[in-house]
Structure 1
Amino acid sequence: MTINWEGVMPAITTKFNENDELDLLTFEKNIKAQLEAGVSGIILGGTLGEASTLTPAEKETLVKKTLEITAHRVPVIMNIAEQSTKEAIQVAKNAKAWGANGLMLLPPMRYKATDYETVVYFKEIAKSTSLPIIIYNNPVDYKIEVTIEMFEELLTECDNIEAVKDSTRDISNVTRLKNKFGDRIKILCGVDTLAFESMVAGAEGWVAGLVAAYPAETVAIYKLTKSGNIKEALRIYRWFMPLLELDISPQLVQNIKLAEVATGLGSEYVRAPRLPLRGAERERVQAIIDGAMATRPQLGEYKSL
């Protein structure tokens, strides 16, 4: 399946039950809500998906279940976040065998690789697979930045590296990438609180977090922005901002799962060492969610834009 790398691509949460097992019924409900809202792809096993806690068997189950639910309507993309090149290549092979349509690649985990080591890591994975790839560039959380110079080498040698999830939190990076590479690389914003600004600057899409709880509002902002209806996009975006700020937190998984409860698209169950929010922090987050639910905006027809 060809991936256009545009629109809204949810970084899906992994649903668990009270016994710490995959909750595939709730997972299916959420995926169907994403499809109904008009998302352009599904990304599995990212930070929000609690990837570091998932077993290979659970990852296989999630990929195959998502393919079943989506029925090839949108691409299914598997995240790779491993400690060694050997492990990353194996995950890439597994993902293709399971039927995934693309890969999202993080730099090496735990070890702070040099620029040279990071480029070699990405190239060896890319050359081991025919699947299209989006590079996840998040120096804030993962301490390794994929620079313009590094992208230049990667894009020259690896045709299947096609896009970047830009989480640098530097809005001008969209313009730098466009000035340097034009349409050779597609840009998807990876920071919820900069999505509108990034798309106005030329980013083709949004790898979103709060979309897990609010799929229609997220896709509406994208569609309205790209169709030029900035005023209406801003109306929804400004309402959304207190919720979007829940994504830029070490507890983003717990925050977003609590929001999923409010919209009926998930539960609070997380996998240890993560634990559900409690005390004053839970009250603070719940108050933000309650306030947003009380003022949830009416959406006009956006899907045909």
Structure 2
Amino acid sequence: MSFEWKGVMPAVTTKFTNEDTLDLEMFATNINAQLDAGVSGIILGGTLGEASTLDEDEKRILIEHTVDLVQGKVPVVMNIAEQSTKGAIKAAENAERYGASGLMMLPPMRYKSTDYETMAYFEAVAKSTTLPIMVYNNPVDYKIEVTLDMFEQLLKHDNIKAVKESTRDITNITRIRNTFGDRLKVLGGVDTLAMESLLMGADGWVAGLVCAFPKETVAIYKLVKAGRVAEATEIYRWFMPLLELDINPQLVQNIKLAEVATGIGTENVRAPRLPLQGKERKRVLSIIDEGVKTRPQIPSL
């Protein structure tokens, strides 16, 4: 499937039953809400998707089920986050075989690779697949930065197309644009910097709170791209306390609680994650409750 790296691409949560199996019924409810809101793609198997707890068969089921749900309306992108190059190549081959349209790729997990090793890792996977790749650049959380010099080399591979820009440095978007023009598509990857990233020229937004609030997320993107910045700002200011729930070690639990509040998810997480408890649970619920109560009207788009 040919597609453009742009628009809102939810990094969706994986839904589980009370018995800790895949909850495909609730998963479908959420995916349909995303499609109805006008998202541009679905990203599976990220941090929000609890990918580190999923086995290979569950990943296969999620890809195949999502491909069936979207019916070609949007691309299905699988995240690759592996400890070894061999494992990453296998994961990419599996994603392609199961019907994914693209890949989002993290650097090697657990090992802080050198620039040379990081490049070799990305290049080996790029050579192993025909799928387009978005490099996930998040040195804050994963301690490995993909620099502009590294991207210059990576772009020699025709299927490396985009970056999920999560350096937390908005000026990096301008540096990317100045260096590569449109050769490297940029999608903002930090919810609390999303509108700023779009205003500085990002092509899209890999979003987290979209899992619970798809219409509001898509509205911000469309309004910014239409030059209606004041209207986008009003929604973004309402959204910010909720977006801050994504910048937290318990982002999965936080966002799943928000999905419960908007009727498109459950609270079930997979151990070792556990549902929020005590004061922190009350704090998060109060933010979500206030957000739901004051949910803004979406202007005509």
Q: Distance in 1 between matches of 2:3 and 2:84?
A: 27
Task: Give per-residue Cα distances to partners, 1:132-189, cap 9 Å, x unaligned.
Answer: 0000001111110101111111012x11000000010000000000000000010000
Q: Distance in 2 between matches of 1:189 and 1:295?
A: 26
Q: What is the SS of the residue equivalent to 1:206? A: strand
**Matching of residue 46 in structure 1 with residue 46 in structure 2:** yes
Q: Distance in 1 between matches of 2:86 and 2:145?
A: 21
Q: Distance in 1 between matches of 2:14 and 2:56?
A: 14
Read off the aligned partner of 1:74 and give its amino acid letter: V
Please show how residues 253-264 of structure 1 align to structure 2 within 5 Å: 253-264=252-263
Q: Distance in 2 between matches of 1:33 and 1:93?
A: 29
Partner of 2:55: 55
Read off the aligned partner of 1:277 and give its amino acid letter: L
User: Runs in 1 of length 4+ with deviation above 6 angstroms?
Assistant: none
Please, what TM-score do these two structures have when normalized by structure 2? 1.00
Task: Give per-residue Cα distances to partners, 1:276-296, cap 9 Å, x unaligned.
Answer: 001000000000001111110
Task: Give per-residue Cα distances to partners, 1:256-282, cap 9 Å, x unaligned.
Answer: 000000000101100000000010000
Partner of 2:70: 70
The Cα shift of 1:48 comes to 0.5
Q: What is the SS of the residue equivalent to 1:183? A: coil
CA RMSD of aligned residues (A): 0.5
Q: Distance in 2 between matches of 1:155 and 1:95?
A: 22
Partner of 2:166: 167
Read off the aligned partner of 2:244 and give its amino acid letter: E
Partner of 1:217: 216
Please show how residues 79-228 of structure 1 align to structure 2 within 5 Å: 79-156=79-156, 158-228=157-227
Q: Distance in 1 between matches of 2:248 and 2:142?
A: 14
Q: Give the percent of matched residue pairs that are identical in Structure 1 and Structure 2.
A: 68
Q: Distance in 2 between matches of 1:2 and 1:180?
A: 25
The Cα shift of 1:125 comes to 0.2
Q: Size of the alignment, in residue pairs?
A: 301
Task: Give per-residue Cα distances to partners, 1:6-46, cap 9 Å, x unaligned.
Answer: 00000000000110000000000000000000000000000
Read off the aligned partner of 1:250 and give its amino acid letter: P
Read off the aligned partner of 2:276 and give its amino acid letter: L
The Cα shift of 1:122 comes to 0.1
Q: What is the SS of the residue equivalent to 1:92? A: helix
* Unaligned segments of structure 2, at least 5 residues: none
Partner of 2:299: 300
Q: Distance in 1 between matches of 2:3 and 2:270?
A: 31
The Cα shift of 1:2 comes to 1.1
Read off the aligned partner of 2:70 and give its amino acid letter: T
Q: Distance in 1 between matches of 2:91 and 2:293?
A: 43
The Cα shift of 1:3 comes to 2.0
Task: Give per-residue Cα distances to partners, 1:101-156, cap 9 Å, x unaligned.
Answer: 00000000000000110000000000100000000001111110101111111012
Q: Distance in 2 between matches of 1:155 and 1:273?
A: 38
Task: Give per-residue Cα distances to partners, 1:65-95, cap 9 Å, x unaligned.
Answer: 0011000000000000000000100010000
Read off the aligned partner of 1:140 and give its amino acid letter: V
The Cα shift of 1:301 comes to 1.9
Please, what TM-score do these two structures have when normalized by structure 1? 0.98
Read off the aligned partner of 2:178 and give its amino acid letter: N
The Cα shift of 1:300 comes to 1.7
Partner of 1:23: 23
Q: Distance in 2 between matches of 1:211 and 1:3?
A: 21
* Cα contact 1:3–1:132 (8 A) shared by 2: no
Q: What is the SS of the residue equivalent to 2:136? A: strand
Read off the aligned partner of 1:249 and give its amino acid letter: N
Q: Distance in 2 between matches of 1:278 and 1:295?
A: 25
